[in-house]
C-alpha cells in the first residue's frame, strides 16, 4: 500500500496529513515516511480488535528499507492516539501481530512556524 500524503497551509503553517494504514487485516512491515521538519506528530489508530500496531522511527540519513524495523516508539493494542513530541527523521507503523480487526492509522504533523 502506498502512503497517501497531503500538505496543507493552515494559518500560515504547513500541516501534513498521511494515511499510514488503510484497512489493514493482516501483519505487515509498513512504509517509512519522511517526518523531518515536523513536530507535534499525532498518530490516530483505530479498528483494532485483537492486534498489535508498532510505531517505529529512524534517524538514518537516507530512507531505510521497509523491511528495516528501526527503533520502537510504542506498541498499541487498542484504539488510541499517540503523540510524538521529539524530532525524528523517518516514521512508520506496522502491524506486528494480528488476529482480528480492520486497522487504520492516520498521521498529523505541524511544521514549526
Q: Is the pTM of this model over 0.75?
A: yes
pLDDT along the chain (113 residues), means of 10: 76 87 94 88 96 96 94 97 94 96 94 67
Name the one residue in this structure whose C-alpha cell is 500541516.
15
Q: Which domain holds residue 58?
A: 4-110
Q: What is the pLDDT of residue 59?
A: 95
Q: What is the pLDDT of residue 1?
A: 46
Please enumerate in sequence order all residues whose Cβ is within 8 A of that of 47, keeping only pairs 6 or more positions apart, or say none: 23, 79, 101, 102, 103, 104
- Total structural domains in the chain? 1
Q: What is the pLDDT of residue 112?
A: 67
Dihedral, CA of residue 81, residue 73, residue 78 and residue 109, to nearest 10: 20
Looking at residue 60, which CATH number applies to its domain? 2.60.120
- The candidate with the shortest Cα–Cα distance to 97, out of 26, 45, 49, is 26
| For the chain, counts of helices (H) and of strands (E) | 0, 7
Cβ atoms 51, 99 nearer than 8 A: yes
Amino acid at each position: 500500500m502506498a502512503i497517501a500524503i497531503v500538505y496543507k497551509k493552515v494559518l500560515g503553517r504547513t500541516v501534513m496529513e498521511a494515511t499510514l494504514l488503510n484497512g489493514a487485516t493482516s501483519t505487515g512491515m509498513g512504509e517509512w515516511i519522511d517526518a523531518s521538519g515536523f513536530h507535534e506528530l499525532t498518530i490516530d489508530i483505530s479498528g483494532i480488535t485483537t492486534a498489535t500496531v508498532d510505531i517505529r522511527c529512524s534517524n538514518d540519513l537516507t530512507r531505510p528499507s521497509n523491511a528495516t524495523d528501526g527503533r520502537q516508539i510504542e506498541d498499541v493494542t487498542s484504539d488510541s492516539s499517540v503523540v510524538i513530541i521529539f524530532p525524528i527523521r523517518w516514521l512508520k507503523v506496522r502491524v506486528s501481530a494480528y488476529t482480528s480487526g480492520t486497522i487504520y492509522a492516520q498521521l498529523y504533523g505541524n511544521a514549526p512556524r
